[in-house]
Structure 1
Amino acid sequence: MSGFTTFVINPAAGRGRVGQMLRQLEATIRQHGRSSDIEIIVTQAPGHGIEVARSAPAGSRVIAVGGDGTVHEVVRGIAGSDKAIGVIPIGSGNDFARMVGLHRHDLGAALRTALHGGIHPIDLGLVNNQPYGASLGIGFDAAVARKALSAPTFLRGMPRYLYSIFGVLKDLQLPTLELIQNGQTVYQGPSLLVALMNASTYGGGIPIVPDAIPTDGLISAAVAGEFSRLGVVGILPRLILGRHVHHPRLHFFRGAEFTARFDRPVPAHSDGELIEPATEYRVHMVPGGLKVIRP
């Protein structure tokens, strides 16, 4: 690895918290490292982080300062290279940081790890040939995230989330899913959602697949089958608490590759970032395909 480190700072992360911390962040970064070996880039728009990560020097460290959206852009920018990703987790979700054991670090500890931590390989997910680090969700949860974009601006936090859930529930019509693993159909029927995971959590800590391991070369898949509106309301608290795994309409699989086919376009999110709805999602895992900076 080269001794150069690029910090990719997303000022919109953490609902604008990172932007409010910019001067503190820049001062602390320079305090912990040599200026000649550090580059600090503040992203200007969605997608800018991909370009910054892609143009960072070969073999360098690229540090995502923000949440899962910032991490996702850096992952896309360095996938297939010899660069390593670090994380200063100041987002609202931080599931990637949680996956690699960084979500409880304070700012100083996170910076020391970013600059001096060891480099460890983890698996890299690909959905329709696009990289992701921690999670892929297809169906209800992605529809809720998409609905939130059109929620009234005065709604924040949980009220905005509840508005979105009940907005999606009002028009709930489950698509038909065929989930194929290594050429064999393992599930066919109505489906509320499908999660194809490298991490065990998404959505800011929801343990959708509690036993997922990001270094086993496998996708940990969860399928929620046919649920009524009332059934969705009933399963959500169990899902948040991780008490859903024995529910008879939840199905779990593990494999190196999956194809999810639907009878109509279904929305999805990758590391929390929305993907254009599609009828087919081809997903596989690249063992050890991503270098991560850890303590």
Structure 2
Amino acid sequence: MSPYVLFVVNPAAGRGRVGQMLERLERLIHQQASGLKVEVAVTQRPGHATELAQQAPPQSRVVAVGGDGTVHEVVRGLVGSDKVLGVVPIGSGNDFARMVGLHRLGLEGAVEAALRAPAQPVDLGLVNQQPYGASLGIGFDAAVARKALEAPTFLRGMPRYLYSLFGVLRELELPHLELYQDDHLVYQGPSLLVALMNAPTYGGGIPIVPQAVPTDGRLSVAVAGRFSRLGVVGILPRLLTGRHVHHPRLRFFQGEAFLVRFDRPVPAHTDGELIPPSSEYRVRVLPKGLAVAGFAG
């Protein structure tokens, strides 16, 4: 049992829902924390969760209260330490929580697990030396996420996604990809997207690589090759239900290290958070890189 538990609460998560729940959350945490030293810290700006996680004392638990973006920031502050990650998933995606089975617990169950459940290790990904927990997406999906930042503010949810999707489709021009696995060239050609996954899902439950396992010491990779605009629209329903895996223009790989090289800078996201576009991404797995409270393995 950890002598100190820090809850890092992102009030903007879940499209502001966490901020609206803040008093209820604090009350629930203190009700369940009997016998433990607990602190609740509310993030004030991007990157603040990473700072708070870094400042937490050794051997403590740091609990991300929010979505995948909050988890991502906390993970960046915990890598290389003896601290344990807890997750109370109240975001719009929650793919990390889905990966470790915490999305099924409900609010009270997730708080209890964060406080007292045993911790087990999971793998992490590293892209250009920066850690990520569940997913790295490069190409089309990241371009859609970037386009969404430019969408009219009155658009929410699916209308915002469709606006962004068709905006990217209008400009679609596939980059040329060279993918190396452990220094061996395994794919060369046009590419719609590359997903290098620790989790089976991203984007709020899309099973992009259903066979991914976060404890096998490997990353699971999906490469979508040459797709036309019509082809992209056609595969989306199959992708949402996991029926895309036998498509002839999709390739799947598993390994410990990958080099993703394009002929021009291509946008990317880690755990749903946009990172600067690059023409080269060096990606590897960090086996058992993080201990997670409540993960049954």
Q: What interval of TM-score do these two structures reach, taking the shorter chain for normalisation?
A: over 0.9
TM-score (normalizing by structure 2):
0.98
Conserved? CA contact 2:43–2:49, under 8 Å: yes
Q: Distance in 1 between matches of 2:238 and 2:92?
A: 21
Equivalent residue, structure 2, for 1:40: 40
What SS does structure 1 have at the residue aligned with 2:57?
coil
CA distance in 2, matches of 1:134, 1:251: 20
RMSD of the TM alignment (CA)?
0.9
Which residue does the alignment assign to 1:178? 178
Residues matched between the structures, number: 295
Q: CA contact under 8 A between 2:3 and 2:36: conserved in structure 1?
A: no
Residue of structure 2 in register with 1:103 after alignment = 103
Partner residue in 2 for 1:19: 19
Q: Deviations over 1:92-115 (max 9, x none)?
A: 000000000001111111111010
SS at match of 2:82: coil
Cα distance in 1 for partners of 2:29, 2:276 equals 36
Q: Tell me whether 1:221 sits opposite 2:248 in the alignment.
A: no
* Distance in 1 separating the partners of 2:150 and 2:68: 21
Instruction: Give yes or no for contact 1:2–1:58 (8 Å, CA) kept in 2.
Output: no
What is the match of residue 262 of structure 1?
Answer: 262
In structure 1, the residue matched to 2:52 is 52
Q: Distance in 2 between matches of 1:46 and 1:21?
A: 20
Alignment of 1:73-222 (within 5 A): 73-222=73-222
Equivalent residues of 2:4, 2:37 under 8 A apart: yes
AA partner of residue 119 (structure 2) = I
Correspondence for 1:234:
234
Q: CA deviation at 1:2?
A: 3.8
Q: Which residue of 2 aligns with 1:72?
A: 72
Q: How far apart, CA to CA, are the structure 1 residues paired with 2:182 and 2:93?
A: 32
Q: How far apart in 1 are the matches of 2:36 and 2:263?
A: 55
In structure 1, distance between residues paired with 2:3 and 2:207: 36
Q: Supply the distance in 2 between the matched residues of 1:285 and 1:11 (Cα, whole angstroms).
A: 31
**What fraction of aligned residue pairs are identical, expressed as a percent?**
71
Give yes or no for contact 2:5–2:36 (8 Å, CA) kept in 1: no
Gaps of 5+ in 2: none
- Equivalent position SS for 2:86: strand
For 2:225 and 2:3, how far apart are their aligned partners in 1?
A: 49
Could you state the TM-score of these two structures normalised by the residue count of structure 1?
A: 0.99
Q: What letter is aligned with 1:262? A: F
- Which amino acid in structure 1 is aligned with residue 122 of structure 2? I
What are the superposed Cα offsets for residues 223-253 of structure 1, whole Å, 9 maximum, x if unpaired?
0000000000001110001000000000000
Moved more, 33-42 or 229-238: 33-42
Distance across 2 between alignment mates of 1:23 and 1:35: 21
Q: In the alignment, is the contact (CA less than 8 A) between 1:65 and 1:88 conserved in 2?
A: yes
Runs of 4+ residues over 2 Å off in structure 1: none
**Contact 2:257 / 2:284 at 8 angstroms: preserved in 1?**
yes
Between the aligned partners of 1:196 and 1:106, the Cα distance in structure 2 is: 29
Q: Distance in 2 between matches of 1:277 and 1:175?
A: 13
Deviations along 1:47-104, one digit per CA (max 9) or x if unpaired, are 1000000101101100000000000000000011111111000000000000000011
The CA deviation at 1:34 is 3.7
- Match of 1:222, as an amino acid? A
